[in-house]
Amino acid sequence: MKDPRFSRLAELLVNHSTETKPGEKVLIEAFDIPTDFTIELIKTIAAAGGEPIVSTYHQPVLRALYSAATESQMKTIGAIEGARMEAVQCYIGIRGSNNITEMSDVPREKLSLFEKYWWNPVHSEVRVKKTKWVVVRWPSPSMAQAAGMSTEAFEDFYFQVCAGVDYKKMAAAQEPLKERMDRTDRVHITGPGTDLSFSKKGIATVGCSGERNVPDGEMFTCPIRDSVNGVLQYNCETLYRGTVFSNVRLVFKDGKIIEATADSETPKLNDILDADEGARYIGEWSLAFNPYILKPMKDILFDEKIAGSFHFTPGQAYEEADNGNRSQIHWDMVCIQRPEYGGGEIRFDGELIRKDGLFVLPELHQLNPDQLK
């Protein structure tokens, strides 16, 4: 018997996120997800008049491939994958994993080859810039464990936060925030261990309501590259390249991260930030407001949407909100400012905008959880 939740999610991805039109080619990349959902996606794309193209992947196989990486090999795969991505108009990536730390023991230099010659040319340069794309995690026992939930409860939570949100209502509620951020110059963020300031003058602001990520609920922009000064203490664990980092603390001077520490992985943290020059500068800043996501679960597509949080991202800037920073990494790290996480304030040009995770201006109240639910 077909799970009706599969149909609702497939409809969202095909008809809302990618807005698939007749004749458009849609690449599905399925990583360790149920065959039934891949089939449902194929049927939904075909019903919209699109032409589905499918590739399936398994994380243990990818681990072996990355571990064996050579520059020549990654260039060849990147060229093949890039040509295929150039040939499609839409992309749907469904990413599951039975072990969130599957890549933790792949050597850093091997992952760097993958990122430099496969991931960046194919995804950063082609998929992000030239297709209508959406990326979705798939619920698994591994994710449920990271979230501290039973598998069944997590699946119910997953489909609620992904396909149970009124994204049209969210999009309308974002407009006053976008207008306010567009005319903002100076941003000042304070909280436990955090006193950070920067300028975003002249850099675009982009609202997200189910078009590129599911689940969704954020407004992102970017600081002027050399304007960031101060210290930022993140309070969410962050999973990157298969390793979990806790209590990451970054110190900035004129845009550059001059000091980076974590509870137990400081050397590996700095290795990643030394990947290239742009890795120690910020490529994105975003405010999040998905009303159903309230705690971190070591999965960035969920954690970066936590209500009352923001993320501040070392590495590559997005073309839509570009400060010119270029890097092979893009590492979203999250800080929650709700009272149970220590609170905090965000000010635009000296005006208090959000306090303890809640927007305080009347025109922004509709983005608070009690209004979006």
Which tokens hold the place of 190?
């304070």
The answer to whether 252 touches 320, Cβ cutoff 8 Å, is no
Residue 353 Cα distances to 44, 340, 342, 362, 365, angstroms: 41, 19, 17, 10, 10
3-state secondary structure of 369: helix
**CA 161 from chain center: how many Å?**
15
Q: Is the peptide bond before 215 cis (omega within 30 degrees of 0)?
A: yes
The answer to whether 354 touches 363, Cβ cutoff 8 Å, is no
Give strand pairing partners of 312.
285
With 0-12 / 13-18 / 19 or more C-beta atoms within 10 angstroms meaning exposed / middle / buried, residue 164 is middle
Answer positive or negative: Cα dihedral of 341, 147, 133, 171. negative
User: Looking at residue 88, what is its pLDDT?
Assistant: 98
Which tokens hold the place of 299?
């999965």
**In sequence order, what are the residues at sequence separation of 6 or more whose Cβ sits closer than 8 angstroms to the Cβ of residue 10?**
37, 40, 41, 43, 44
Domain with CATH 3.40.1830.10 in the chain: 4-163
Residue 226 Cα distances to 105, 167, 203, 223, 275, angstroms: 34, 34, 13, 8, 19
Which tokens hold the place of 358?
């809640």
Which tokens hold the place of 4?
């009706």
Residue of 206, 245, 242, 238 whose CA lies nearest to 106: 242
The answer to whether 168 touches 186, Cβ cutoff 8 Å, is no
Residue of 321, 248, 249 whose CA lies nearest to 284: 321
What are the backbone dihedrals phi and psi of residue 208, each rounded to the nearest 5 degrees, phi first?
-130, 120
Distance CA 198, CA 234 (A): 17
The answer to whether 167 touches 8, Cβ cutoff 8 Å, is no
pLDDT tens for the 373 residues of the chain, in order: 678 999 999 999 999 999 999 999 999 999 999 999 999 999 999 999 999 999 999 999 999 999 999 999 999 999 999 999 999 999 999 998 888 888 889 998 999 999 999 999 999 899 999 999 999 989 988 888 888 889 999 999 999 888 888 898 999 999 999 999 999 999 999 999 999 999 999 999 999 998 888 999 999 999 999 999 999 999 999 989 888 999 999 999 999 999 999 998 999 999 999 999 999 999 999 999 999 999 998 888 899 999 999 999 999 999 899 999 999 899 999 999 999 999 999 999 999 999 999 999 999 999 999 999 8
Distance CA 24, CA 89 (A): 6
* Of the options 3.40.220.10, 3.40.50.150, 3.40.1830.10, 3.90.1150.10, the CATH number for the domain spanning 4-163: 3.40.1830.10
User: Looking at residue 122, what is its pLDDT?
Assistant: 96
User: Looking at residue 1, what is its pLDDT?
Assistant: 66
Answer positive or negative: Cα dihedral of 305, 308, 312, 318. positive
The answer to whether 188 touches 30, Cβ cutoff 8 Å, is no
* Predicted model pTM: 0.81
Q: What's the DSSP call for residue 20?
A: -
Residue of 63, 159, 178, 148 whose CA lies nearest to 111: 63
With 0-12 / 13-18 / 19 or more C-beta atoms within 10 angstroms meaning exposed / middle / buried, residue 165 is buried
Apex 211 CA angle, 209 and 215, nearest 5: 60
